[in-house]
């Protein structure tokens, strides 16, 4: 059994990401289960990958929000990150299940609103995620959503974050990235708003807005179109289309605004067998909206 830092036992693999692997582990001092993320393979010697990994650790540890996994420990020499242990599956896996393509409206709104709440906290400290997609969202059994993988994040300030993001362009997900980001424009909060729009559309309809399944469709499609979603309230469809606006200036002012709009459609959500069984007191959307600070 592998040991890290004479403290963490690696017990079993959980999954593999763009930069490395995630393992289930145990903190033998505090006697608790943890998740351990490590850079793997040839990336150990890749200086850019190492910088991204350090950046992700620092960003995740400083985002104090229940929708971001808690960071317990980080070792910059051995390059491992110890975090709160989350369920192994994500929203991408959920959407791949034919039974859940096109979620009930309450779930689509709840998931998207929680992402908006997390990104409000991130944007308030000048951080842009830039890789919001279903695979980077974990759904917990109580219905809470955790946003993960800040490895491609950027800072709007001249801080340590921006200093270590220089170099090659970070990886982005073609189907979920804002048009201006794919065109090489500077990062902005509006990038994440567009990704949230793609997510909301997919959760409501079971398909992405501008592609038919081919890899290049989302990039080549006319993104000025306003694809319909049958049976969706007009105000919610309007918000979805505004989030997907090609012109960043036409999107909602910020994630705080989008969250407050979504909250009007939030309500009790039914159980998702095999995924989540929220109880009557589990309402993270309302909790996050009530806790929103006013913009500075």
Evaluate whether 130 touches 173 at the Cβ level (below 8 Å). Answer: no
Q: What is the pLDDT of residue 222?
A: 60
Helix axis angle for 189-205 and 234-243, nearest 10°, is 140
CA 86, CA 70: separation in Å to the nearest integer? 10
Kindly state the average pLDDT of the residues 202-230. Answer: 72
CA 9, CA 35: separation in Å to the nearest integer? 10
Is pLDDT of 163 > 60?
no
Kindly state the average pLDDT of the residues 168-182. Answer: 76
Kindly state the average pLDDT of the residues 139-161. Answer: 83
**CA 48 and chain centroid, separation:** 22
Q: What is the pLDDT of residue 166?
A: 45
Kindly state the average pLDDT of the residues 204-229. Answer: 69
The three-class DSSP label of residue 283 is coil
Domains detected in the chain: 3-83 (3.30.200.20), 91-291 (1.10.510.10)
Tokens coding 216 = 């290049």
Give the number of other CB atoms < 10 A from CB of residue 98.
7
Evaluate whether 72 touches 231 at the Cβ level (below 8 Å). Answer: no
Residue with token string 């309500």: 267
CA 49, CA 55: separation in Å to the nearest integer? 10
Kindly state the average pLDDT of the residues 208-226. Answer: 62
**pTM higher than the cut 0.85:** yes
Residue 295's pLDDT band, with cuts at 50, 70 and 90, is: low
- Lowest mean pLDDT of 134-148, 174-188, 245-259, name the range: 174-188
Kindly state the average pLDDT of the residues 208-219. Answer: 61
Q: What is the pLDDT of residue 37?
A: 92
Instruction: DSSP for 251-268, please give it.
Output: S-S-HHHHHHHHHTT---
Q: State the chain's mean pLDDT as an integer.
A: 85
Q: Using alpha carbons, select from 60, 111, 120, 118 the residue that is nearest to residue 90.
A: 111
pLDDT digits 0-9 by tens, 116-142: 999 999 999 889 999 999 999 999 999
Is pLDDT of 194 > 80?
yes
Instruction: DSSP for 109-126, please give it.
Output: HHHHHHHHHHHHHHHHTT
Give percent above pLDDT 70 in the chain.
83
Q: What is the pLDDT of residue 118?
A: 96
Catalytic residue positions, numbered: 131
Residue 53's pLDDT band, with cuts at 50, 70 and 90, is: confident
Sign, Cα dihedral of 232, 201, 189, 247? negative
Buried b (16+ CB within 10 A) or exposed e, 218-248: beeeebeeebebeebeeebbebbbbbbbeeb
Q: What is the pLDDT of residue 232?
A: 93
Phi, psi (degrees; rounded to nearest 5) at 21: -120, 155
Kindly state the average pLDDT of the residues 179-184. Answer: 87
Phi, psi (degrees; rounded to nearest 5) at 150: -95, 25
Evaluate whether 11 touches 23 at the Cβ level (below 8 Å). Answer: yes
Buried b (16+ CB within 10 A) or exposed e, 130-163: bbbbbbbbbbbeebbbbbbbbbbbbbbeeeebee
């Amino acid at each position: 059994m592998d040991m890290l830092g004479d403290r963490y036992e690696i017990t079993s693999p959980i999954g593999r990401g763009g930069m490395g692997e995630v393992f289930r582990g145990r903190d033998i001092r505090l006697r608790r289960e943890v998740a351990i993320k490590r850079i793997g393979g040839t990336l150990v010697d890749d200086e850019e990958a190492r910088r991204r990994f350090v950046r992700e650790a620092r960003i995740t540890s400083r985002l104090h929000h229940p929708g971001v996994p808690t960071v317990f420990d980080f070792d910059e020499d051995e390059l491992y990150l110890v975090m709160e242990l989350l369920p192994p599956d994500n929203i991408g896996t959920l959407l791949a299940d034919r039974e859940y393509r096109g979620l009930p409206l309450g779930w689509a709104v709840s998931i998207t609103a929680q992402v908006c709440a997390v990104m409000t906290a991130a944007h308030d400290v000048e951080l842009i995620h830039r890789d919001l997609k279903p695979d980077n969202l974990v759904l917990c059994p109580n219905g809470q959503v955790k946003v993960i993988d800040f490895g491609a994040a950027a800072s709007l300030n001249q801080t340590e974050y921006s200093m270590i993001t220089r170099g090659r362009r970070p990886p982005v997900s073609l189907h979920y990235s804002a048009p201006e980001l794919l065109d090489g424009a500077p990062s902005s909060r509006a990038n994440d708003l567009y990704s949230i729009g793609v997510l909301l559309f997919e959760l409501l309809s079971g398909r992405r807005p501008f592609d038919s399944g081919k890899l290049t469709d989302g990039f080549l499609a006319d993104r000025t179109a306003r694809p319909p979603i049958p049976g969706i309230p007009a105000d919610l469809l309007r918000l979805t289309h505004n989030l997907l606006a090609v012109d960043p200036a036409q999107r909602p002012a910020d994630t705080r605004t989008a969250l407050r709009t979504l909250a009007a459609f939030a309500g009790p959500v039914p159980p998702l067998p095999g995924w989540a069984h929220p109880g009557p007191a589990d309402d993270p959307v309302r909790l996050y909206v009530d806790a929103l600070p006013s913009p500075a």
